[in-house]
Amino acid sequence: MAVTPVVVALSRSGQDMAHKVAALLGAPVHGRQDRVDRADAFFDNALDHVRDLFAAGTPIVGVCASGILIRSVAPLLADKTTEPAVVSVSEDGAVVVPLLGGHHGANRLAKDIAAHLSATAAVTTAGDVALGVALDEPPAGWRMGDGNAKGVMAGLLAGQAFTMFGSAPFLESLHEAPNVTVQAARATRSVGPPPVRLVSDDNPGLGLTWYPQQFVLGLGCARNADPAEMWELVSDQLDHAGIAAEAIAAVASIDLKADEPAILQCAARLGVPVRFFDAARLERETPRLANPSDVVFAEVGCHGVSEGAALAGVGADGDLVVEKSKTANCTAAFAMADAPIVEVPGRARGRLSVVGIGPGQATWRTPEVSRLVADAEELVGYGLYIDLLGPLAAGKTRSDFPLGGEEARCRYALEEAAKGKNVALVCSGDAGIYAMGALVFELLGRGPEDSGVSDAARRVDVVCSPGVSALQGAAARAGAPLGHDFCTISLSDLLTPRDDIIRRLNAAAEGDFVIAFYNPVSKTRRTLLAEARDILLQHRPADTPVMLATSLGRPEENVRYRRLEDLEVDEVDMMTVVLVGSSNSKLAALGEGPRMYTPRGYARKIDGDLSGKS
Residues 6+ apart with CB under 8 A from 115: 121
Residue 97 and residue 422: Cα distance in Å, rounded?
32
Phi/psi region, residue 553 (left: phi>0; alpha: psi -120 to 50; beta: rest), is: left
Q: What is the mean pLDDT of each run of 10 residues along the chain (614 residues)?
A: 85 95 94 93 90 90 95 87 90 94 83 92 71 81 90 89 94 90 82 91 93 97 97 96 95 97 97 97 97 95 97 96 97 97 94 92 86 94 90 89 89 96 95 94 90 93 94 91 94 90 97 94 86 96 94 84 94 90 92 87 58 51
Q: Does CATH place domain 471-597 in 3.30.230.80?
A: no
Distance of CA 185 to the CA centre of its chain: 40
How buried is 542 (Cβ within 10 angstroms: 0-12 exposed, 13-18 middle, 19+ buried)? exposed
Residues 6+ apart with CB under 8 A from 111: 121, 123
The pLDDT tens digits for 373-400 are 999 999 999 998 999 888 888 888 999 9
CB atoms < 10 A from the CB of 347, how many? Answer: 16
Q: Count CA atoms within 13 Å of residue 279 on its CB side.
A: 10
Report the amino acid identity of residue 37. D
CATH of 6-124, one of 3.90.950.20, 3.40.50.11220, 3.30.930.10, 3.40.50.410: 3.40.50.11220
Predicted pLDDT at 108: 87
Predicted pLDDT at 609: 58
Report the amino acid identity of residue 284. R
- Domain segments of the chain: what residues? 6-124, 142-212, 215-347, 350-468, 471-597
Q: Phi, psi (5° rounding) for residue 343?
A: -135, 125
Predicted pLDDT at 431: 95
The fold adopted by the segment(s) 215-347 is Nucleotidyltransferase; domain 5 (3.30.420)
Dihedral over Cα of 421, 426, 431, 434: its sign? negative
The pLDDT tens digits for 234-275 are 999 999 999 999 999 999 999 999 999 999 999 999 999 999
Where would I find the beta strands (DSSP E) of 39-104? 41-43, 60-63, 86-89, 95-100
Residue 510 and residue 529: Cα distance in Å, rounded?
17
Dihedral over Cα of 131, 135, 136, 137: its sign? positive
Of 45, 52, 3, nearest to 28 (Cα)? 3
The CATH number given to 350-468 is: 3.40.1010.10
Residue 154 and residue 125: Cα distance in Å, rounded?
12
